[in-house]
Amino acid sequence: MKRIKILPGILSLMALVLAGCSSPEPQEVDSGSIIIGHVTDSHSWHIADYHGSDGQEHVIAINLPIILIDDGLQVFSSKHFHHGHAVYEGRKHTYALIGGGLEKEEVVCVVPVKAEGGGEDVLLRTHEGTSYAALRDGEGNVVKPVDISITKTAAAIIIAVVLLSVIILVSAKKYKEREGKAPKGMQGLIEILVLHVKDDIVGPILGHHTGRFLPYLLTLFFFIFFCNILGLIPFFPAGANITGNIAVTAILALITFFITNLNGNKHYWKDVFWTPGVPSWLKIFPLMPIVELVGVFTKPIVLMIRLFANMTAGHIVILGFVVIIFILSNSLGMAVGGAVSAVSVLFAVFISLLECLVAYIQAFVFTMLSALYISMAVEEPAEH
């Protein structure tokens, strides 16, 4: 009986493989651009590509607002760039979107040029055939406006904050409606996580200071954990690599840095500049104060790099298993690519499940280390 139940799955998998083998000649796949393009930021939210009845490839994407400071405020939609194939005529300058894939995506000022072959300075050629080169200042530097656009990462953070706020507020409302009753559903899950952070992470480290710093550490845990989970869901409005953006992890680490050092008591700063338990000549030299002061700044750097590297690596590995299907299809034939696809998909699913665990572990570690750094700054020395 079990073999009969498994048979439809095997037949379906074989049908998918045969369908892949009978598809048209595959196009060249730029695997590096696909992977790096997913884990980096962009000015539009790419969703999918499709081939229309005209035989051309079309892009389905959400156009995000471009906000530039350049002789005033310039606000327009990223759709004017047509995914980097067109320019936008501003009040004073013409703007183009360059980069993407393996290169950083950015907005620069450009001027039209007559270039038949597309020289080194020609950034793009529009659909009308006009070529554009970078506008340069007197020192030869490319002119770039101050870009404060709502990028994919910024939009994803807004979505994550809104969704998380709704979940927390709904759970809080349930507590009022079900006062004195056992929690259930989402309310129960939120209660488990809150008590876990309070009793298992923050409480044992901060002790009687727990109530003072618990709101920040709860916010930190829920934001990181929720963003990590959203990044693993491969469709809009999820799928953005929020915590794999080093700017996001840097801001989170900086907040912990400022909370730690602004709340540091005199014993904390005495340990930094006059380290106890070491010879006096090391304090006066001053070797140990330099080492301790460097440690003050390396702690947030460790927080920043650990979260960024772990989440980015997970996304790259998952995408790598998917892209290898197309690489082998192009190099060894569609039959080989179709056969390898079953193994690649299974590995990608396994890594995705592992990333769910990593999503929690990284939120746990970031919150725990933040609590540890804060406790080192506010704890009073033991009296003997």
Task: Please provide the DSSP assignment of 240-293 as one string.
Answer: --STTSHHHHHHHHHHHHHHHHHS--HHHHHHHHS-TTS-HHHHHTTHHHHHHH
Classify 230 as helix, strand or coil: helix
Amino acid symbol at 208: H
Averaged pLDDT, 311-327: 86
CA distance 328 to 195: 49
Average of per-residue pLDDT values in the chain: 83
pLDDT in tens, 212-234: 999 999 999 999 999 999 988 88
**Span 242-272, pLDDT tens digits:** 998 999 999 999 999 999 999 988 888 877 7
Range with lowest mean pLDDT among 57-61, 154-158, 292-296? 57-61
Axis-axis angle for helices 186-196, 210-232 (nearest 10): 130
pTM summary value: 0.83
Whole-number Cα distances in Å, 351 to 37, 229, 318, 347: 20, 14, 6, 6
- Which tops the pLDDT comparison, 384 or 133? 133
Instruction: Give the start-to-end residue ranges of the domains of the chain.
Output: 65-147, 152-378
Q: Tell whether the model's pLDDT for residue 48 goes beyond 70.
A: yes
| Structure confidence by residue, pLDDT tens digits, 154-210 | 999 999 999 999 999 998 888 888 877 888 888 888 999 999 999 999 999 998 999
CA atoms within 13 A on the CB side of 216: 18
37's enclosing H/E stretch is: helix 31-39
Which of the pair, 382 or 132, is modelled with greater confidence? Answer: 132
Rounded Cα–Cα distance for residues 173 and 181 (Å): 13
